[in-house]
Structure 1
């Protein structure tokens, strides 16, 4: 029976980036249930890096990841424009207050100067100039490649069947595999609670939600540098994709049982209805539509660290829709905890206690 220092369940961005960070220091097996990694969430991301996305609790991880993403060539300029109507003024003020002192550049602007055809009632705007596109596929592939070069093994089509504590760690059965590992890492995204239950660990309450995106072709000429447009009330966002095309989402979060999800026609229709209340552009065609999974812990912050009740079980989950934009820093933080080493300078100023799984366990 093969033995590894670390077995990571899940080869999406969470598992892949963590494997890349720890493989130079330990023997790693990356276990993926699907026949290709990143199938459910990572491969269906809306693909942007926004320091405000996910809220103030996530922002330190996003900001800390910026340099690594830039240096790797995974980002390119986009910008985000947060818009609202008169009744959203309080939400605009709360948004600005949440990030006051963080160093994020947020500037009040007239949104009509940045979005031609914007309807007259959308009078409030905040520009987040630092927002950028992420090349998700390249980032994920780079993480997997770095992990492999450091000796990590990737096993596809290997759903976790059992995981039992043994004297020297874990005995793991996944697909046709039977291996032992000192540490079992739960990076299973929407399936994180299910993996915990299989391993005899009390689930945290991570839930899966469906998010819908449609690619539209519009009969309007979009500005060459139009930013992503985000409703301050969380009802939609859309971002340009070149040549009169854009990606549109109703910003939906529909609670689902973890599975391979597909877009619902009503969600696409709702997105288009909301979109047509924002701009006077005509939708010429819905060219493509898809849905992906997002998974959140109860407090909507990610979970990194050893389980407080079960030795050798490590959580790397609950990354919502911000797992890609935080991947470099999240992996560095989790790797320091997992390997019990000093943190990388990238994350040395970030307190990992905010993300510890013990926050969901009752005090003894």
Structure 2
């Protein structure tokens, strides 16, 4: 049997950023367990890589702002170069959706995020592919963009390892040792580990891991989402921002010589290596025809699917478990993991080191205890 003061389950953005910030705070004995042979095999490596700060929830907005600021100015000792294309974002809305988006923009503005409200004409002049599109106005955020997610995840892990963090790949969790309501160890495919603290950063598997420990089971659900990359398009400008129609759930951004497009489909799935569904291609073109008619002639070159794990109330799950001592949650990042990764890791590290800090109560798993009864 080996031992580690802290064991983090999952080497995606939640686990890697938490490990980095814990190590940065001076913790020396940390082990990350990753069930796959590489980090980022699932959600952390299959997303659209977009950094977006304007969101509806003020609690989440604080994390997107802090996380984006970190990505724009990585620490001087960051171990790998991370590409960040700060081309901005252009969020679109229609009808009541435009009114809501305008309120979200005002919230972001009050928090210090530089945003502008644009007319339909100005947005279309900036991105000509919006000609004929169905929207009433747009919100422009200059400091958003697209980040190299693989380099970023590698950076978190290497920076953590440089501070003594151990990473064990191909190591899955099979169960926990719990004595008098406290975690004392866990069994893995690579042997038993004695530990004082388990950090559940296992993404789509978070509830299954919690069940093994007898911890609370928050209403977290993995949902599949598809991404499509087009064949080369000579009229695409690589400097365009990502464009997201918030009301109609459809977005696109430059990718290689074409576009990456997404119909924002959402189907609940079991955790795993997510297969694609051909019928979603039909959904994509139906939405494009209706809302972005200038894109109707695009040809799809490739596609893939990934999982986004969301809570019923849309907020992250970060904090100490209310049932099992020594069990900490960093889960349910719901598609915001890239943008908020550093802010989430910093908050998690703070709560782990100082459980009585009073921070992050809005994300605590305790909020689900009465509702689930489990």
Q: How do residues 179-198 of structure 1 correspond to structure 2 at under 5 angstroms?
A: 179-198=193-212
Q: Tell me whether 185-194 or 223-232 shows the greater mean CA deviation.
A: 223-232
Equivalent residue in structure 1 for 2:51, among 49, 72, 86:
49
What are the within-5 Å matches in structure 2 for residues 111-122 of structure 1?
Answer: 111-120=123-132, 121-122=134-135
| CA deviation string 1:302-354 (max 9, x = no partner) | 111111221101011111100111111111110011122898xxxxxx94111
1:68: how far off? Answer: 2.0
SS of the residue 1:225 aligns to: coil
Question: Which of 338, 355, 363 is matched with 1:355 structurally?
Answer: 363
Distance between the aligned counterparts of 1:119 and 1:46, measured in 2? 24
Output the CA distance in 2 between the equivalents of 1:212 and 1:12.
19
Aligned equivalent of 1:280: 294
Decide which structure has greater helix share. 2
TM-score normalised to the size of structure 1? 0.91
Q: CA deviation at 1:76?
A: 2.2
Structure 1 residues 342 and 246: CA distance shift in structure 2, 3 A: farther
1:206 alignment counterpart: 220
Given that 1:78 and 1:227 are in contact with CA atoms closer than 8 Å, whether structure 2 keeps it comes out as yes
Give the TM-score normalised by structure 2. 0.88
Contact between 1:14 and 1:323, CA under 8 Å: does it hold in 2?
Answer: yes
Shift of 1:39: 0.8
Residue in 1 aligned with 2:327? 313
Q: Which residue of 2 aligns with 1:333?
A: 347
- Asked if 1 retains the 8 angstrom alpha-carbon contact of 2:9 and 2:201, the reply is yes
In the TM superposition, 1:168-317 aligns within 5 A as 169-217=183-231, 219-243=233-257, 245-277=258-290, 278-281=292-295, 283-317=297-331
Conserved? CA contact 1:184–1:312, under 8 Å: yes
Which residue, 178, 188, 199 being the options, matches 1:165?
178
Q: Which residue of 2 aligns with 1:105?
A: 114
Structure 1 residue 198: Cα displacement: 0.6
**Alpha-carbon distance between aligned partners in 1 of 2:129 and 2:67, rounded to the nearest angstrom:** 35
Structure 1, unpaired ranges of 5+: 344-349
Name the CA distance, whole Å, in 1 between partners of 2:331 and 2:98.
Answer: 34
Rounded to whole Å, the distance in 1 between the matches of 2:301 and 2:196 is 48
2:162 to 125, 145, 149: 149
Q: Is the 8 A contact 1:218 1:282 kept in 2?
A: no
Is the alpha carbon distance of 1:5 and 1:231 closer, same or farther for their aligned partners in structure 2, counting shifts above 3 Å? same
Map of 1:68-87 to 2, 5 A cutoff?
A: 68-72=70-74, 73-85=82-94
Match of 1:59 among 55, 61, 64: 61
1:163-190 per-position Cα deviation (integer Å, ceiling 9, x unaligned): 1214784221111221111101111111
**Which residue does 2:41 correspond to in 1?**
39
Count of matched residue positions in the alignment of Structure 1 and Structure 2? 357
Give the conservation status (yes or no) of the 8 Å contact 1:9–1:187: yes
Aligned residues of 1:294 and 1:321 also touching (Cα < 8 A): yes
Distance 1:87 1:218, change over 3 A: farther
Alignment gaps of 5+ in structure 2: 75-81
Q: Residues 216 and 322 of structure 2 are in contact (CA less than 8 Å); yes or no, is this contact kept in structure 1? A: no
- Change in CA separation of 1:84 and 1:158 when aligned onto 2, cut-off 3 Å: same
Aligned partners of 2:61, 2:164: CA distance in 1, in Å? 32
Q: CA deviation at 1:20?
A: 1.5
> Does the CA-based 8 Å contact 2:185-2:193 persist in structure 1?
yes
Is contact 2:92–2:137 with CA below 8 Å preserved after alignment?
Answer: yes
Change (3 A) 1:234 1:191: farther
CA RMSD of aligned residues (A): 2.4
